Amino acid sequence: MEKFNRRDFIRLGAMGSLALASRGLVFAEPQTAAGGARTFKMKFAPGRGNEVFRTIAGKDPLKRLQFFKDQGFIAVEGIVWISHKPLSDKEKQMQQDIGDLAKKLGLEVGCMSSMNEKDFPTMSANQVPSKEKVIRDKSAIRDFLVWQMDNTFDILKRVGSKTFIIGPGTVDKELSWNKQYDNVVENMAFCADYCKKNGFVMEIEPLNTTSHPNMFCDRAELGARICEDVKSPNCKILYDLFHEQMQVGNLDSLDNPIVWKNIESFHIADAPGRKEPGSGNMDYMKIFKKIWDKGFRGILGLEHGQSVQSAAVDEKILATYRAFDAQV
């Protein structure tokens, strides 16, 4: 594996800044992280499970956290998987170790993907996910949701996070859309109340129907409408920039005040392709500038793949994010 030293990363960050300076932009002198790299102002949050930085950071979750810290990141996201399967003591201890190290390094821990059902009309039709038989019962679905949330909360406590991703599931073929919407709001309100009692926030993530066919919540404005009807500070939306671009064709909903006030965090990926910024058609330089100028100071998760797995592309992505950060 090709290795890169601290000077290489600083040089790459400077390259990104020079490219922006050539457009007439001037930047303030940055702070420096312990590893020698510039400390980010924006909370770009890499994670454990995606493909980014695997060549130079490796796959070990603890070493990746240290790498993120050394490169100046101040937040992480998705640092463990939540599968709702029984965990061994070893797996639980690893989650605890990850959370302890993130806290020690001063890394803010963002949301974890947990309850974004993609195969069943869980909330829209009160259907318990099962491939063996169809169970549609409000009491049963509530028991199922509580079981999922309890499991999620245990893991979030170990890793030091307060937020998780939730979704209403798919569209049902039997019920009217309005009836499904009422079911979704009722179930989301139930979950939000349970989150409030336990000190957590759930984030509804709208998913595009090209990548995920038949999803009920497929755009940010619908997610925000659900939040408005749930009427709870514990119910927010995760604005996935890739999914919104794919579904709607633009990001105009960022200018919708109802959408904006309900955003808890963002996910980043270029469209099409869902790879790193610059690999597709989205102008992320303008997008991040707009998000910052509108006052957002929360987490922006790096939920994208990587066009090529190589140290050179890892370097390029780091430099790109430093260039994004240098403009704010």
The per-residue pLDDT for 51 is: 80
The per-residue pLDDT for 191 is: 98
The per-residue pLDDT for 27 is: 34
Helix, strand or coil for residue 206? coil
**What is the C-alpha to C-alpha distance for residues 130 and 323, in angstroms, rounded to an integer?**
46
**What is the C-alpha to C-alpha distance for residues 118 and 238, in angstroms, rounded to an integer?**
16
Checking if the pLDDT of 175 tops 60, the result is: yes
Helix, strand or coil for residue 136? strand
Mean pLDDT computed over 159-187: 98
Give the pLDDT band (50/70/90) at residue 292. very high
Mean pLDDT computed over 158-179: 97
pTM: 0.90
Q: Which fold has domain 110-268?
A: TIM Barrel (3.20.20)
Q: The dihedral of CA 190, 229, 122, 204: what is its sign?
A: negative
**What is the C-alpha to C-alpha distance for residues 257 and 299, in angstroms, rounded to an integer?**
19
Q: What is the tens place of the pLDDT at every residue in 132-143?
A: 999 999 999 999
Give the pLDDT band (50/70/90) at residue 26. very low
139, exposed or middle or buried, with CB in 10 Å at 0-12, 13-18, 19+? Answer: exposed
What are the sequence ranges of the domains in the chain?
110-268
The per-residue pLDDT for 49 is: 60
**Which residues, 6 or more positions from 31, have their beta carbon under 8 angstroms from its beta carbon?**
38, 39
Mean pLDDT computed over 26-47: 74
**Which residues, 6 or more positions from 324, have their beta carbon under 8 angstroms from its beta carbon?**
42, 44, 277, 284, 285, 288
